Structure 1
Amino acid sequence: MLTTDRGIRVLGPADLDEFLALTARDPVANVFVEYRGRSTRLDTRWLGGEVWGRYDAGGRLTSACHVGANLVPVEADEEAARAFAERALAKPRTISTIVGAHAAVEAFWDVVGPEWEDVRELRWRQPHLLIDHDPAVEPDPAVRRSVRSDFNNLYPACVAMYEEEIGVSPEAAGGREMYRARVLQLISRGWSFARYDAGRVVFKAEVACVSPTAAQVQGVWVPEDRRGEGLATRGLAAVVEVVRREVAPTVSLYVNEWNTPARAAYARIGFRETARFSTIMF
């Protein structure tokens, strides 16, 4: 097999089965990259980037790295993460986020950190959680899937959540139309859930990506003046119930280590920690 530096080459549609076998080693933690592989068939035209594969001397795919807006090491040990980092340094940086298993992200950052100095925030140890059973609290019956007519009420809540979580507006630098399209896409897929009180969003969450094994949840949010009422706990329980019944048997998410109220809510629902992620944002 012809490979490039340190056994790394760009993967394509012919490599999809081998790539999916790699993500299947931990299908819940790897749900994002598996979703990207399945939805694009590793065709760079649809990926908006590349997936790099690293091979051993026998020609076996041992790790990978998704390189789009998000750079995500896949089943990468320290040596593989460093090899991917060296390849990344040889190209102009186009990514906005590095995210993945803590050990792999840390090894990657050891190499690129001195060169990629414009980092905005490092979140080193984010608990990765999953639930594969019924929620332990009563779901909120008022939570439902959003529909197209909810958009004008939902969109400001999505912007507020993004600004609070990421620290910048999703509409910055001309991003408004792209973000509006993303929110509409989630609605159209049935992946947007919310509770609307007199038209106002008082809880929301989305499914970010899906595989046959798992669905990853993102954007869990309650407006500041309604926090402490249990809306997030019962609301997310409702999301878990529907997603496990209709989308995938396991629901996962990752949370900032310092977000004690959210972690407590997830624990009450029945989520358990299985790993630690890290996120580096530019």
Structure 2
Amino acid sequence: MAKLLARVAPWLPSARQSAGGVEFRTLGGKDTSQLWDLVNSDSTANVFMAAHLEASGTAAPSSSGGEVIGAFHDSRMASACWTGVNLVPIGMTGDDAAALGALLGESGRRFSSIFGPATSVLGLWSTLRTFSPEPFDVRAEQPLLEIRQASPVPPAATLRHTEPHELEQILPACAAMFEEEVGYSPYAGGGEHYRRRVASLIRRRHSLVDFDGDGRVIFKAELGTVSASTAQIQGVWVNPDYRGQGLAAGYMSAVVNEALKIAPVASLYVNSFNTRALALYRTVGFVRAGEFATVLF
């Protein structure tokens, strides 16, 4: 196990650190091409990093404080990890992930979640857990699904983009979905950040909804993370009053149609224990593309 040689972050140039033949350092602009090569090796799984690179144009640290730590073998970038509020590994093997998890743990940093390909996430967590508070949940098996063509299921004709003036109408449904999925309210500790997130999705036309005649949300979903190659569907929710009526497949087919207008692949990941959702996505035409895992704090 690598030991810290300095009090500064061990991957910075002033404290560059090696562990078992791997060197970790914060990426800069000159590393952008190599990072893109990693991302493009699995563009469906790596949509988070692809979206970040498309928005920023560089592998260098972001203005908000996030950075990408690269793992190098003989000066070649073998894998990487977004390190900000969340940890999002890219192509990280078990050994490299475990080494980075230990270094992050020794640095004293705290994160709200770790998510991405299961091998990488669980490798990070195998050592980081020694230094971390007890997680809220560890979801070790989350099938990553994708679809590359229109669904054979007829799409719901009433699904549409949420309009900016409908923010207050859709927020309760968004919060209900979050609480059902994650287990606590997105308003815990103050909800302004969550509100801005939903408003941003609406503004970018990545929020999809259908209302009933009383103005209640029947169904909603978001294209939560979008790159030129993949649109990742998130936040799928059906109002409990409308569940069990066979509506979800048509709505999801319509979501797929919208996603495929902006990227050649639509994807999502789902908890392995959610057998009803898995059956729904199979009906719509999704196929398995990999395995994700998530650690929630």
Q: TM-score range by the shorter chain?
A: over 0.9
Query: Contact 1:162/1:219 (CA < 8 Å) preserved in 2?
Result: yes
CA distance in 2, matches of 1:92, 1:115: 8
CA contact (8 A) 1:205 1:217 kept: yes
Q: What residue number does 1:110 align with?
A: 126
Which has more helix, going by share of residues?
Answer: 1
Shift of 1:103: 1.4
State how far apart, in whole Å, the 1-side matches of 2:65 and 2:218 are: 34
Question: What is the deviation of 1:182?
Answer: 0.6
| Contact 2:110-2:132 within 8 A present in 1 as well | no
Gaps of 5+ in 2: 1-12
- Select 1:4's aligned residue among 16, 37, 62: 16
TM-score by length of 2: 0.90
SS at match of 1:72: strand
Q: Is the 8 A contact 1:68 1:94 kept in 2?
A: no
- Secondary structure at 2:279 match in 1: helix
Equivalent-residue separation in structure 2 for 1:99 and 1:20 (angstroms): 19
Shift of 1:171: 0.9
Q: How many Å separate the matches in 2 of 1:90 and 1:167?
A: 29
Aligned residues of 2:106 and 2:131 also touching (Cα < 8 A): no
Contact kept in structure 2, 1:31 and 1:211, CA below 8 Å:
yes
- The aligned residue for residue 138 of structure 2 is 122
Query: Unpaired segments of 5 or more residues in structure 1?
Result: none
Shift of 1:43: 4.0
Match of residue 23, structure 1, among 25, 35, 39: 39
Shift in Å, 1:232: 2.1
SS state at 2:278 partner: helix
Percent same amino acid among aligned pairs?
38
In the TM superposition, 1:54-73 aligns within 5 A as 54-57=71-74, 59-73=75-89
Name the counterpart of 1:281. 296
Checking the alignment, whether the CA contact within 8 Å between 1:127 and 1:257 is kept in structure 2 is yes
Q: Look up the SS of the partner of 2:63 in the other structure.
A: helix
**2:151 counterpart of 1:139:** no
**Cα RMSD (Å) of the superposition?**
1.4
Measured in 2, the distance between the counterparts of 1:153 and 1:117 equals 36
Q: 1:36 deviation in Å?
A: 1.6
Matches within 5 A, 1:234-249: 234-245=250-261, 247-249=262-264
Tell me if the contact between 1:220 and 1:232 (Cα under 8 Å) persists in the aligned partners.
no
**Partner secondary structure for residue 44 of structure 1:** coil
Asked if the contact 1:20–1:34 (Cα under 8 Å) also holds between the matched residues in 2, the reply is yes
Q: Matched residues in 1 for 2:292 and 2:25: separation?
A: 25
Instruction: Give the drift of 1:68.
Output: 1.4
How far apart are residue 20 of structure 1 and its match?
1.0
Which residue among 266, 271, 276 is the counterpart of 2:286? 271
Count of equivalent residues = 278
Query: Matches of 1:106 and 1:274 in 2, distance apart?
Result: 18
**Secondary structure at 2:114's aligned position in 1?**
strand
Among residues 240, 243, 252, which one is paired with 2:267 in the alignment? 252
- SS where residue 172 of structure 1 aligns? coil
Q: Residue deviations 1:46-88, cap 9 Å, x none? A: 353211011111x111100011122111101111111211221
Shift of 1:12: 2.3
Q: CA–CA distance in 1 between the matches of 2:45 and 2:153? A: 24
Q: What residue in structure 2 maps to residue 101 of structure 1? A: 117
Other-structure match for 1:182: 197
